[in-house]
Amino acid sequence: MTKTQKIPKATITRLSMYYRQLELLEFDGYRMVSSEKLAWLCQINPAQVRKDLGYFGEFGVRGVGYDVIDLLAQIKKILSLNRDWNFGIAGMGNLGCAILLHRNLALRGFKCAAAFDNSHDRIGMPLPGGTKIRDIKELKTAIRDLNIEIGVITTPASSAQKVADLFLEGHVNAILNFAPTRINVPDCCLVENIDFTVIMDILAYKLREKMAA
Distance CA 123, CA 156 (A): 17
SS percent in the chain: helix, strand, coil, step 5 = 45, 15, 35
Q: Is 2 exposed, middle or buried (0-12, 13-18, 19+ CB in 10 A)?
A: exposed
User: Is the pTM here over 0.85, yes or no?
Assistant: yes
**φ and ψ of 153, to 5 deg:** -110, 120
Strands (E), 9-167: 32-33, 66-67, 85-90, 110-117, 134-135, 150-153
Q: Which residue has the higher pLDDT, 104 or 25?
A: 25
Q: How many angstroms separate the first and last alpha carbons of the chain?
A: 42
pLDDT in tens, 79-88: 999 999 999 9
- Of 29-38, 57-66, 135-144, 196-205, the poorest mean pLDDT is in 57-66
The per-residue pLDDT for 62 is: 83
pLDDT at 63: 80
CA 23 vs. chain centroid, Å, equals 17
CA-CA-CA-CA dihedral for 68, 69, 75, 78, to nearest 10 = -150
Q: In this structure, what are the phi and psi dihedrals at residue 70, rounded to the nearest 5 degrees?
A: -65, -45
User: Which ranges of 138-195 does DSSP label H, i.e. alpha helix?
Assistant: 139-146, 157-169
How confident is the prediction for the chain on average, in pLDDT?
A: 93
C-alpha distances out from residue 86 to 116, 123, 138, 166, 205, Å:
14, 20, 16, 17, 37
pLDDT for 3 equals 46
pLDDT-derived band of residue 96, with 50, 70 and 90 as boundaries? very high
- What's the CA gap between 212 and 92, in Å, rounded? 41
Instruction: Please name each of the domains of the chain with its CATH number.
Output: 9-78 (1.10.10.10), 85-198 (3.40.50.720)
pLDDT of residue 5: 66
Task: Please state the length of the chain.
Answer: 213
Classify residue 43 by burial, with Cβ atoms within 10 Å: 0-12, 13-18, 19+.
exposed
